């Protein structure tokens, strides 16, 4: 069988684990568990794009109901013109996957289709279509909607893992003070430690996570610096949990756009190196948002085997860029990376985001194994299978599975 056909077959049939999503099960309630055509079409990536093609003011857009927003975006981005962007093509790919009209003049047919689905069965179908074994949620313990669900003792779906997300604690000094005041603890550090211990016990997360600005520094004489050193790293170590750092987001550069108003910036990769060096017994999962950080991050992972790079995050999740970054990672790190996560916020996005990842992986691996063959070694089908399994699921399982791991000893 020609090599590309073998790679296509393996990539298509190898199941993946999705290490970072914003998805929930129905038990979390309709405000958190998003699915269906109106949510798909009003995805915040598309909210940002529709402002490129009309003169609506943000306040006029937000004044519309969800259905009105979806109708408006559908007409503007999908009917009046070809839906060219990555986020637009994603909606088209989802419609196609369910046999729905991708050139529909309106959303009637799609609405009827999604309304007719049983929520639990639909989740199963979507995971199957996306080729996934499991997904990791993003559980914000500072969101009262989530807190209420967790405190009610929510039933855990084994395919949906928790990740304890702590952005407000690390990015807003007022939050640390409030936790201390609420708990009567003498200081933020003591209060935060107790707070996290309680949530780890309740949530049983696979990892702790934070998103950080490009200006992120460590060590630093700030509350964030102290919390990282005295609370986060020791807590993760004591509980044998990785710490995920998602670095490079500039929040609300255009606040009126809400979630669609965030941007990115080049961050300092030496901070990641320092953290890995000073905490050799901790495991770190790192993704960076700026394309300009990617090469440095690969080199950092060659130096520190407690660093696992994951995903082409958010604005990077476009085929031209994922291809470049994944090629670079494989050239520098072999299969010792987690090439992609979906970041899906709406259930059915799993279908297109993973289809696009698989398409990209075939191209990247085809080139990599072809180069290897030209240099004198034809990889066997078994070897290709092993690499794809490691990148799609093995690195995830070992990294979050509690075991100290070393995918490939530091490469020098
Ligand atoms: O990709 C996104 O949807 C962003 O809005 C963020 O949620 C980002 O992925 C994050 O996890 O902070
Ligand atoms: Zn995310």
Q: Which ligand is nearest to the CA of 246?
A: 1
Cα–Cα distance for residue pair 392/388, rounded to 1 Å: 6
- In ligand 1, the atom with minimum distance to the C-alpha of 262 is 5
- In ligand 1, the atom with minimum distance to the C-alpha of 259 is 5
Shortest-distance Cα residue to atom 12 of ligand 1: 211
**What pLDDT is recorded for position 235?**
98
44 alpha carbon – ligand 1 mean position (Å): 10
Cα–Cα distance for residue pair 395/320, rounded to 1 Å: 24
The backbone region for 36, taken as left when phi is positive above 0, alpha when psi lies in -120 to 50, beta otherwise, is left
State both tokens at 244.
């995920």
Name the nearest CA neighbour of 150 among 162, 136, 134: 162
Crossing angle (nearest 10°) for helices 381-389 and 3-13: 40
Q: How many helices (H) and strands (E) does the chain have?
A: 20, 11
* Confidence class for position 402, pLDDT limits 50, 70, 90: low
Residue-wise pLDDT for 55-78, tens only, equals 999 999 999 999 999 999 999 999
Per the listing, tokens 């702790």 go with: 208
Total count of residues recorded for the chain? 412
What average pLDDT does range 23-48 have in this prediction?
A: 97
Q: At residue 252, does pLDDT exceed 70?
A: yes
**What pLDDT is recorded for position 412?**
36
Beta-strand relationship, 249-250 and 243-247: unpaired
Report the greatest alpha carbon distance in the chain: 68
State both tokens at 392.
């799609």
- In ligand 1, the atom with minimum distance to the C-alpha of 317 is 1
The backbone region for 124, taken as left when phi is positive above 0, alpha when psi lies in -120 to 50, beta otherwise, is alpha
Q: At residue 406, does pLDDT exceed 70?
A: no
Residue-wise pLDDT for 152-173, tens only, equals 998 889 999 999 999 999 999 9
Mean pLDDT of the residues in the chain: 96
Q: Enter the CATH code of domain 3-35+116-400.
A: 3.20.20.140
- Ranges of each domain in the chain: 3-35+116-400
Shortest-distance Cα residue to atom 4 of ligand 1: 314
CB of residue 314 inside a 6 A radius of ligand 1:
yes
The preferred substitution site among 18, 19, 22, 46 for testing ligand 1, maximizing ligand atoms within 8 Å of CB, is: 22
């Amino acid at each position: 069988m020609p090599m590309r056909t073998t790679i296509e077959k393996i990539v298509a049939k190898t199941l993946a684990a999705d290490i970072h999503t914003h998805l929930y099960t129905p038990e979390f309630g309709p405000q958190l568990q998003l699915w269906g055509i109106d949510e798909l079409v009003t995805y915040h990536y598309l909210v940002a794009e529709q402002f490129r093609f009309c003169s609506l003011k943000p306040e006029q857009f937000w004044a519309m109901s969800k259905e009105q927003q979806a109708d408006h975006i559908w007409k503007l981005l999908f009917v009046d013109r070809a839906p060219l962007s990555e986020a637009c093509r994603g909606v088209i790919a989802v419609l196609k996957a369910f046999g729905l009209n991708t050139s529909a003049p309106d959303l009637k047919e799609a609405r009827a289709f999604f309304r007719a689905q049983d929520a639990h069965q639909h989740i199963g179908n979507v995971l199957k279509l996306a080729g996934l074994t499991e997904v990791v949620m993003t559980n914000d313990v500072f969101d009262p909607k989530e807190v209420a669900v967790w405190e009610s003792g929510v039933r855990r779906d084994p395919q949906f893992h928790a990740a304890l997300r702590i952005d407000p604690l690390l990015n807003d000094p007022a939050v640390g003070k409030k936790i201390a005041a609420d708990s009567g603890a003498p200081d933020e550090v003591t209060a935060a430690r107790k707070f996290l211990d309680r949530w780890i016990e309740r949530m049983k997360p696979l990892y702790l996570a934070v998103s950080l600005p490009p200006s992120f520094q460590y060590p630093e004489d700030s509350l964030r610096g102290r919390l990282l050193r005295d609370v986060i790293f020791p807590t993760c170590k004591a509980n044998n949990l990785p710490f995920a750092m998602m670095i490079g987001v500039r929040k609300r550069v255009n606040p009126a756009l809400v979630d669609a108003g965030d941007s990115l910036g080049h961050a300092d990769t030496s901070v990641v190196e320092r953290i890995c060096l000073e905490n050799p017994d901790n495991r770190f999962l790192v993704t960076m948002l700026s394309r300009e950080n990617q090469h440095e991050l690969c080199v950092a992972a060659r130096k520190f085997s407690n660093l696992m790079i994951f995903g082409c995050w958010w604005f990077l999740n476009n085929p031209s860029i994922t291809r470049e970054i994944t090629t670079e990672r494989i050239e520098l790190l072999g299969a010792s990376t987690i090439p992609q996560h979906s970041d899906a916020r709406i259930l059915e996005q799993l279908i297109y985001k993973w289809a696009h990842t698989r398409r990209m992986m075939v191209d990247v691996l085809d080139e990599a194994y072809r180069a290897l063959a030209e240099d004198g070694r034809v990889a066997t089908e078994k070897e290709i299978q092993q690499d794809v399994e490691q990148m799609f699921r093995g690195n995830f399982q070992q990294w979050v599975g509690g075991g100290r791991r070393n995918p490939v000893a530091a490469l020098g």
